[in-house]
Amino acid sequence: MDTLYVIAREEAAGKTTICAGLARHLVDNGRKVGFVKLTSNADNHDAVFMKQLLNLTEDSASLCVADGDPPVVKEACNRVAQGKHVMMVEGKRNKSSIEIARALNASVIMIETYAQPLSGAPGNYREFGTNFAGVVINKVPVSQLERVRDEALASASQAGASVLGVIPEDRTLSSVTVGELAECTGGRILNNTEKAADLVENYLLGAMVVDSGLLYFGRKNNKAAIIKGNRPDMQLAALETSTRCLLLSDSSEPPMHSVQQKAESKGIPIILTGRDTNSVVTTLEDCIGKTRFSQEKKLSRLSEILQQHLNLQAIT
C-alpha cells in the first residue's frame, strides 16, 4: 500500500484541495483510497467532505487524528488503510512531520503558495530525505505561472527536490456558496433557500456609479451583489444580470415587495445581513481568504487543472 503525506507550512495553502484532486484521480483509475487528517483541534469539516467524496465507511471522527505522536498516527492510519490501495494523510508541516513520514513510510508532498517564496524552503525539503516526493506551488496568478515555474525549478534543484506542479489560481476553486456567505456575514436567506449550495465566483459593491445599474452589474457573472437596503433601484438592476445572490447591508428590514417578487421569479436568494457595508465587505474578504474546498461541484474543474499542471504520474 502507498501512503501520500500532504503537508504545508501555513493554513489555507490548499492541502485538502490537492488531496481531493489526487483522490478523485486515483479512484477514477480503480484505486481504493483512504484518508486521515492530522489536526490540533476538533474541526472535522475536511474529514466529513473527504469521507463523502471517497464513500468511506469509517466515522468522520476517526478520520481526524491528533497531530504530533508518530505511533498514534501510524495506528490510526493502519485502521483506515484496511482494504485500501492508497492512504492519503493531510497535515501541517511541524516538528513531528519528519518522524511521521518515516513511521508511515510515506511519500511527502509539500504545498507551497505563491505568497510564500521558496527561498527559505530547501532545508525543509532535505530534512525528509528519501521520503520527500516533491513540492507543489499553489494559487499562482495565471500571469505569473511561467516565472514562478522557473524560480521553483531553480530553487528546488538546489535542494535536490522535484517540482511536481505549479497550480494556477482559479476563480471556481476559490468560490464559496450562497449559504457560506450568509453564515460568514451572520445573514439570513429570505427566499430560494434551495439555492444555498450555488457557487459565488465574483463580487460587486453597489456603490454610486456613473454607469447605469444594468451596465455596472453586467460586468461580472455568477456574483454576489452587495447593496444597501435603501437602494431598491440598484437591487432591481442587479437582479436583471447574472447574480447568485443579493447581500443587503445597512438595514435590518426586508427589501421592497417589488425586489422580493423579482428575486423570487428569478430564483435569486436575498441575504439580509443587518450590518453596515464596510463590516460586510471586511467579513467577506476574511471568509474568501479562508475558503475550504468542500463542494463536489468544483471537482470537475479541479480535475482539469491538475491534469494540465500537476505531474500525476510522478505521484500516483
Same domain, 168 and 181: no
Same domain, 39 and 150: yes
208 pLDDT tier (thresholds 50, 70, 90): low
Same domain, 213 and 254: yes
Same domain, 310 and 165: yes
pLDDT the model gives residue 227: 94
Structural domain containing residue 190: 176-289
Is the pLDDT confidence value at 216 over 90? no
Domain count, the chain: 2
Same domain, 10 and 138: yes
292 pLDDT tier (thresholds 50, 70, 90): low
How many CA atoms does the CB half-sphere of 229 hold within 13 Å? 15
Same domain, 141 and 25: yes
Same domain, 167 and 61: yes
SS3 content of the chain, % helix, strand, coil (to 5): 45, 25, 35
CATH number for the domain that contains residue 297: 3.40.50.300
Tell me the C-alpha to C-alpha distance, in Å, between residue 67 and each of 23, 36, 110, 194, 293.
22, 11, 17, 37, 21
Q: Starting at the edge strand that comes first in sequence, how are the strands of the sheet with 107-113 ordered?
A: 64-66, 33-39, 86-92, 2-8, 107-113, 132-140, 163-168
pTM attached to this predicted model = 0.76
246 pLDDT tier (thresholds 50, 70, 90): very high
Same domain, 56 and 106: yes
CA–CA gap between residue 298 and residue 294 (Å, rounded): 8
Same domain, 20 and 84: yes
Tell me: the pLDDT tens digits for 34-66?
999 998 776 678 888 899 889 999 988 889 998
Same domain, 79 and 141: yes
pLDDT the model gives residue 31: 94
Same domain, 6 and 46: yes
CATH number for the domain that contains residue 231: 3.40.1390.20
Mean predicted lDDT score pLDDT of the chain: 87
Same domain, 142 and 24: yes
Q: Considering only 80-84, 93-97, 119-123, 244-248, which range has the smallest mean pLDDT? A: 119-123
Which residue's C-alpha cell is 487528517? 37
